[in-house]
Each structure stands twice: as C-alpha cells, then as structure tokens.
Amino acid sequence: MRVRNAKLLFSELKLWTSGRSSWMNRLHDGVSRCGKASFSSCSPKVCVVGSGPAGFYTAQHLIKARQDAEVDILERLPVPFGLVRFGVAPDHPEVKNVINTFTQTAQHPRCSFYGNVNVGKDVSIGELQQAYHAVVLSYGAEGNRSMGVPGEDLPGVYSAKDFVGWYNGLPSCRELQPDLSCETAVILGQGNVALDVARVLLSPINILKNTDITQPALDSLAKSRIRRVLIVGRRGPVQVACTIKELREMVNLPGTTPEMVAADFQGVAEALKDLPRPRKRLTELMLKTALETPGEKEQERRSKASRVWGLRFFRSPIEVLSDPGHHKVAGIRLAVNRVEGSGEGARAVLTGKVEEVSCGLVISSIGYRSLPIDPLVPFDSHKAIIPNTVGRVHQAPGLYCSGWVKTGPTGVIATTMNNSFDTARSLVEDMDSGSLDVSSAKPGSQFITALLENRGVKPVTFSDWEKINSVEVRRGEVNGKPREKVLTVEEMLQLARA
C-alpha cells in the first residue's frame, strides 16, 4: 500500500512538469491493471539475455514504459556491460559514461542482474520461457567472420575480436599474448574496430598508460617494435566503413604520420559532390590527408613522427604467407580489385593482379558474427541474426531480440540504443494489446534461481559486481588508471564472494 501511495504522489509531482501524457497513461495502466504498481505476482516478468548496451537499453525502456514490469538481466560473465567493457577502446573513456545510466537501471527496484549464468548451458531458453512472460535475446555477436584463406591459422594471425578482447581484459583472450616484435602489421578491414586496433598499436605509451587497458597489454605495447600499420579494404575510399571521428583520431595521433597511395584516390574528388554529408566529410578528410601538402606546422609534426599508418584500398587477402620454417607470419598475398558500381552498393571485382606485403602481424577485422543460442530460437545462419520484425522473433511468441543479434554487428552505441528502445516498445505494445498474455502469474527469478542452485550455479548479483568494481578502481588508482581490470573469471568470482 505504501508503494502505491508513493507512486501516486510521484505521478502528481510529475504532472507539474507537463508534456508527458503518454508516460502518464502508461503509469495509470500499470496501476489499474494489477491494483498496485509493482512487486505483484501478476506483474509482467521479462528476462533479458546479455548485459551489454542492448540488454541494458532494452531493460531501461521496459522499466520506464511499464511501471509494473520486472526485468531480470542474465549475463554469462560475472561482470556486466558487455562490449562497453570489452569492446570500447581504452582511450575512449567518454563512451563508457553510458555505464552510469546502466548502473542506475541495474539498481532500480524492478531490475535484477544475474551474472555468471550461461544461458544455453546453465539454463535453457525453454526454462526461461516457463519462468517469464517474455525473453529478450540481446547476447550480441561473439563469433567473427573468418577470412577463409590459406595460412590464417598461422601464429601471428589474430581476429580483431580476440585482439581487442586481449587489450580490454576479456578473460577468454587473456592467453593471446600477441608477438609485437615485427615492424609492420596488416589489418584487414577498415571499420571502426580496425581503426581502434591501429590506434592502440601506434599510440604513444604515455597516452595508453592512464586508460583502463590491461597491464599485460600495456607492458607488451611498451615493448612493441611495430612501426607501420596498414589498414586494408577490398573496396575504395568512398566505401570505407569507419566513421569520421575514428579517422580524425588517426590523422591527429601524436608521433605518427599518414602514408597513403595517391592512385587509390583517382576520381574520388569528382564523386564528392553527390555524396550525403557524413560520407562527404569523411571522404574529404581522407582526400586531404592523402593528397594535400600539409602546412608548415603539420609538416614539422610529421617529420618528427616515428610511426606510420596507411589506408590501402582495392585489396583482398588471398593467402597469409609464412616464414620458411612455417612458424609464423611473414607476409600476406593480396588480390588487386577494382570496384564495379558506385556508392555503398559497389562491388569489389578481381583484376587478376596480385601483390605481396611483408608483415609479422595480421589482424582480421572483417566483422563480428552472432551465433545461435538454442535450437528453440530461430536463426538465420546466412545473415547471422535472429530473424525478427522490430524485435519480435519470427514464429516464436514471447521471444524478442535487440542489439547486434537483431541487426547484425554494425553501428555505434546510439544505433544500439535506438534499436533496443524499438524492441522494448514492441514488447510493451504486445503487453498492452494482449497479444502477449501477461494475465497469468509467472514465477520469474524465483524459479530460475532455484533451478540454478540445484545445478550448482551461483549467480553474481549487481552488489557482488560492485565489490569487484571497487577492487578494480582501487587497483587502478595506484597506477593512475580509472581501473585495473580483473582478468580471470576465477578471481572475479572470488572477489564477488569475499
């Protein structure tokens, strides 16, 4: 009863701010349906699988839009936030500010976090559907597209996903310890992940040492002998996949100078005028960097640079070459392409010409890939997504999806935020319209925690995570870093249970 009165008082206060009629209607819906605002046995119970941005943004919107909904977020690792922790580059701390909002969501009385729960192994989707009115799959894209060329299993060839996981402290990538003793690294792919990797490889150690990069990665990078990073794409400058912020960071990266091939930019200036503004500005920055004679100050800066980066266009990998003993990478053979068509839809076509580049490190950054989670959940293995319409999983009532498993592994965090809000809106619409039946009581986390206990799985709660968090922050302070990440699941669990 106290809760209800409090909610009504809250709603009166909110009325003064006006302009929120839809929000108010939903609040009253929630109140009238169940007789009280929350914590009711008949409240809609939703389970979100995955605690990255997609999971948290979906939960955030659900909690707000339905004042009676209870949301549980399940996470395989003991620590939350997915790619915000393990994907976002350590020198982009601003992007990680989203964690503050996620933390508020996790601490909301109608939201619970259960880490260390592996959906598909510890608990099945079928069991989740028994316990909850709806299940939202937002488990991301943990696989990666492979190049499919000979030599890609040689030591010295890594997927960008693993390389990023290594410097960001993903427990499964801890053993990677890449050999950085060569002079040239080749990155295949020209998306933002490729540029993140290039930037981390070439950044002065002074810039990295005050970030949350892991200590082993920082030590390795301090000893790195890599002086040249080539970022290779199969199509042309107009099709480059990175966004302008990341390109500008490369252009301005202290201690480095760009090395481009002027011939790659033939006809690009002429194509500029027809491009939409974002693509146009990105292309202009590339053209300026590649072709223009820099001013005096910039010339001086470049002449002092000890490290080099370059974009290489119209090239596809055909074989990773090994040293004579087949012990490690010695180079890469690239097919020379031309582009047919124009704009985003242009296709790379082989010319028959081939060239070789010597290098001791190859990082393939040609895209992440979602994996199927459970035979119950439809999966489009060609597109590597869960087939859906605005987040409603096809032919699977009660199942929803958001984030990269819904759209494919593209977009910045705002993209994921909007697509997650869309999924939450679909789910709320279905509850409101009755097409998702929430009238019968479901046991929610009670059922699942009992089941996990029987199976010997002990979830990590959000307050457990806060213990891990405070240890990480304390360890970081010693070295002037925002945090020193705990690198193994075992230690995370140990700290959670301390």
Partner 1 sequence: MALAAALRRLAPVALGAFPRRTTAVTLGCGSRLAGTRRLSAGTQPLRSDNKVTIHFINRDGEKVTVKGSSGDTLLDVVINEDLDFDGFGACEGTLACSTCHLIFDEEVYKKLGRVTDEEMDMLDLAYGLTETSRLGCQICLTKSLDGMVARVPESVTDIRQSKDETA
DSSP H or E segment with residue 318: strand 315-322
Phi, psi of 396 (to 5 degrees): -150, 75
- Give residues with Cβ within 8 angstroms of 281, minimum separation 6: 244
Q: Is 24 in the site for partner 1 (CB under 8 A)?
A: no
| Beta-sheet pairing, 184-188 with 228-232 | parallel
**How far apart are CB 101 and partner 1 at their closest, in Å?**
6
- Residues 411, 461, 466, 489: which binds partner 1 (CB under 8 A)? 411
Q: Is 146 in the site for partner 1 (CB under 8 A)?
A: no
Looking at the Cβ atoms of 131 and 369, the one nearer to partner 1 is: 369
**How far apart are CB 175 and partner 1 at their closest, in Å?**
25
Instruction: From 1-9, 169-177, 298-306, 353-361, give the range in contact with partner 1 by CB under 8 A.
Output: 1-9
Number of residues that bind partner 1 (CB under 8 A): 70
- Give residues with Cβ within 8 angstroms of 384, minimum separation 6: 141, 143, 369, 370, 371, 408
**How far apart are CB 213 and partner 1 at their closest, in Å?**
17
Task: Using alpha carbons, select from 192, 351, 344 the residue that is nearest to residue 271.
Answer: 344
- Give residues with Cβ within 8 angstroms of 404, minimum separation 6: 54, 140, 141, 368, 370, 410, 416
| Beta-sheet pairing, 111-114 with 70-74 | parallel
Report whether 246 belongs to an annotated binding site: yes
- Give residues with Cβ within 8 angstroms of 324, minimum separation 6: none
- Residues 234, 406, 442, 485: which binds partner 1 (CB under 8 A)? 234
Residue 189 φ/ψ region, left for φ over 0, alpha for ψ in the -120 to 50 degree band, beta for the rest: left
Q: Which residue has the tokens 């508020």?
A: 104
Q: Is 209 in the site for partner 1 (CB under 8 A)?
A: no
Question: What mask, x for binding partner 1 by CB under 8 A, covers residues 357 to 386?
Answer: --------xxxx------------------
Determine the length of the chain.
498
- Residues 21, 293, 395, 454: which binds partner 1 (CB under 8 A)? 21
Phi, psi of 467 (to 5 degrees): -65, -45
Question: What mask, x for binding partner 1 by CB under 8 A, covers residues 82 to 111?
Answer: ----------xxxx-xx-xx--x--xxx--
Report whether 191 belongs to an annotated binding site: yes
Q: Is 20 in the site for partner 1 (CB under 8 A)?
A: yes
Task: Using alpha carbons, select from 110, 39, 124 the residue that is nearest to residue 448.
Answer: 124
Report whether 67 belongs to an annotated binding site: no
Instruction: From 58-66, 431-439, 444-452, 463-471, give the range in contact with partner 1 by CB under 8 A.
Output: 58-66
- Give residues with Cβ within 8 angstroms of 72, minimum separation 6: 45, 46, 47, 48, 111, 112, 113, 114, 132, 444, 445, 448
- Residues 26, 235, 307, 406: which binds partner 1 (CB under 8 A)? 235
Could you list the residues that contact partner 1 (CB under 8 A)? 3, 6-7, 9-10, 13-14, 16-23, 57, 61, 63-64, 67, 92-95, 97-98, 100-101, 104, 107-109, 145, 189-193, 233-235, 239-241, 243-245, 248, 277-278, 281-282, 365-368, 390, 407, 409-415, 417-419, 421-422
Positions at the binding site for FAD:
54, 75, 83, 119, 404, 411-413
